[in-house]
Structure 1
């Protein structure tokens, strides 16, 4: 379980505990969509996310796709098939792990519920599809396999969670890269959490 172990080594036990901006202090939270209709919101969110992520990723992207289902991986087979159909589920070199849904009342419906995580590496040119799927679900735009998409650069120790068209969290122990993003994309930062981000990254006078 190389990917799972590396994520735990770098990010600890809370890498997937949402919202990761609050559970992994010292990160960034970007506001993506603004006003307008659903298409204008999606287009702006996609443009901003791609601009930010193109600064972060330049090679391999480690992807963790988390799917909500029953204990068996077969319970999420339809999502896996959709991912494969759009080119986001390689045939080889994948990891799978699961954990029982204990603390997520937003998703809970009964006792037999699990988060399945499928992890693998994709080339940089998959970024467009990954962001599309991450941002499209709430807008009802297709294709959009129902899942959570977490993107990692394990060499740079950075995690990106585009949670929907509204925003995207970027966290990790790479303070220098986070500072670069804070300065470069300051106008994209979510004002609600700007005070916390300023405390972490703003230069003292």
Structure 2
């Protein structure tokens, strides 16, 4: 699967023909241990990480050829630094290619000024073992909580060229996995059916129960 076959723009689930949307942070546990005292519920975050890792490991095998793309909104000055937390989690010496690109076709309706764009770094030619996947997933889960570290502000897309799918953990609440082929996602639909986001469950059941 080539980089440009699936547009790397949230929400992946709504922007692609076949997708699954999972609830990562379980609502029944709740994010707050004590909301008045602003104490976060550690069980919520540990469960979210366990779910994210489990789905990732089911979607990505150790032998798969993968790329990882990370992108941020820029006012024209903001850039992705080579020493960023994201890049420090990847064995860049194992990569076939590292490319920095600017994109104005992403969220184009929200780009108010000519200088605004989305800046992306794509690390290609990787295997799963070449990146600290669990650290990246944890940082994405923490993205909306300033008191929790590590944290990544931006969007991260895991691209599986072997299986032909893209995974995006958009924050602590949810994860999208999309593909150009329905059959690619069927094992995930069956195995992790209980974690499917109820809000979109009817749509997913309509698509994947028809096989």
TM category (shorter chain) comes to: 0.7 to 0.9
- Aligned-pair distance for 1:116? 0.8
TM-score, normalisation: structure 2: 0.80
Kindly tell me the number of residue pairs found equivalent between the two proteins: 191
Give yes or no for contact 2:72–2:80 (8 Å, CA) kept in 1.
no
- Aligned equivalents of 1:29 and 1:132: distance in 2? 18
Where in structure 1 do 4 or more consecutive aligned residues deviate above 3 Å? Answer: 108-111
- Aligned equivalents of 2:70 and 2:171: distance in 1? 14
For 1:122-201, what aligned pairs fall within 5 Å after superposition? 122-125=126-129, 126-140=132-146, 141-201=148-208
- Aligned equivalents of 1:148 and 1:84: distance in 2? 11
Root-mean-square deviation (Å):
2.4
The Cα offsets for residues 67-89 of structure 1, whole Å up to 9 and x where unpaired, read as 221436xx3245x4222674337
- Which 5+ residue runs of structure 1 have no aligned equivalent? none
Q: Give the aligned partner of residue 50 of structure 1.
A: 53
- Aligned-pair distance for 1:44? 1.4
SS for the counterpart of 1:164 is coil
The Cα offsets for residues 54-109 of structure 1, whole Å up to 9 and x where unpaired, read as 0111134310000221436xx3245x42226743372662012111366353xx57
- Which 5+ residue runs of structure 2 have no aligned equivalent? 33-39
- Aligned equivalents of 2:43 and 2:210: distance in 1? 35
Residues 41, 103 of structure 1: CA spacing in aligned structure 2 closer, same or farther, 3 A cutoff? farther
Match of 2:17 among 21, 25, 34: 25
